[in-house]
Amino acid sequence: MHTEAEAKPRIAAEAYRPVVVLRDSLVTGLLGAMTIMVWFLFLDTLAGRPLHTPTVLGSVVLGTDAGSLGNLPVSIPVVLFYTVVHGLAFCVVGYVAAWLFALAEHHPPWIFGLLLFFILFFCGFLAVPVVIKPAVFEVVTIPKILAGNLLAAVAMGGYLWRHHPLDLRQLM
């Protein structure tokens, strides 16, 4: 029978396994992507234009936005394309987050790196529309993006925290 002190290193070592990090990255990434998708579906539905946001963003990524972004008709193929791209991007973000959580669980100073990552994640997605096409902000406003990113960060961080509880007291 293992004591709690003996089990902790074994659990921390388990968190480093590539299969565990990959599983956590996929779950975390898809959880974040789904949170954002549900958030914008809710907002689009309230505005009377379900799936408008992924149509706009998908059209911008594909370069098929010929006219005003606010008047684009909903396109299911564009929505599906953007959903896949968005999901893959969030899986990459989820991989970095899962890896940092695994590191921080074993080496507590990495919690600061994890905090920096979530700040960059939170603000970083504001830069993407600016680089691709600033007119996106006519349709997807900064407060909507920030609220969606906050919801996604809480969902992703909550999942990782539950599976990799960090002892913040070790930092003191």
Per-residue pLDDT reduced to its tens digit, 25-77: 999 999 999 999 999 999 999 999 999 999 999 988 888 876 678 788 999 99
Question: What would the two tokens of residue 103 be?
Answer: 């590191």
Q: Which residue has the higher pLDDT, 134 or 67?
A: 134
Burial tier of 62 (Cβ tally within 10 Å: 0-12, 13-18, 19+):
middle
The answer to whether residues 101 and 110 touch, using CB atoms and an 8 Å cutoff, is no
The answer to whether residues 25 and 95 touch, using CB atoms and an 8 Å cutoff, is yes
- The pLDDT value recorded for residue 7 is 47
Contacts 24+ apart (CB under 8 A), 84-91: 85/58, 85/61, 86/33, 86/36, 86/37, 86/54, 86/57, 87/29, 87/30, 87/33, 89/33, 90/29, 90/30, 90/32, 90/33, 90/36, 90/152, 91/25, 91/26, 91/29, 91/30, 91/33
Residue 6 has pLDDT above 70, yes or no: no
- The pLDDT value recorded for residue 10 is 47
Question: What would the two tokens of residue 140 be?
Answer: 């997807």
Query: Residue 15 — very low, low, confident or very high, per pLDDT cuts 50/70/90?
Result: low
Q: Note the pTM of the prediction, 2 decimals.
A: 0.80
- The pLDDT value recorded for residue 134 is 77
Q: Which residue has the higher pLDDT, 26 or 172?
A: 26
CA angle centred on 96, ends 90 and 102, rounded to 5°: 130
Instruction: Quick: pLDDT tens for 104-123.
Output: 877 878 888 888 888 887 77
- The pLDDT value recorded for residue 170 is 58
Query: Residue 164 — very low, low, confident or very high, per pLDDT cuts 50/70/90?
Result: confident
- The pLDDT value recorded for residue 3 is 53
Q: Which residue has the higher pLDDT, 148 or 110?
A: 148
Across the chain, what does the average pLDDT equal?
83
CA atoms in the 13 A half-sphere facing the CB of 160: 34
Q: What percent of the chain has pLDDT over 90?
A: 39
Residues 6+ apart with CB under 8 A from 36: 86, 90, 148, 149, 151, 152
Helical residues (DSSP H) of 17-109, grouped into ranges: 18-46, 52-62, 76-106
Q: What is the dihedral of CA 33, 39, 44, 50, to 10 degrees?
A: 50
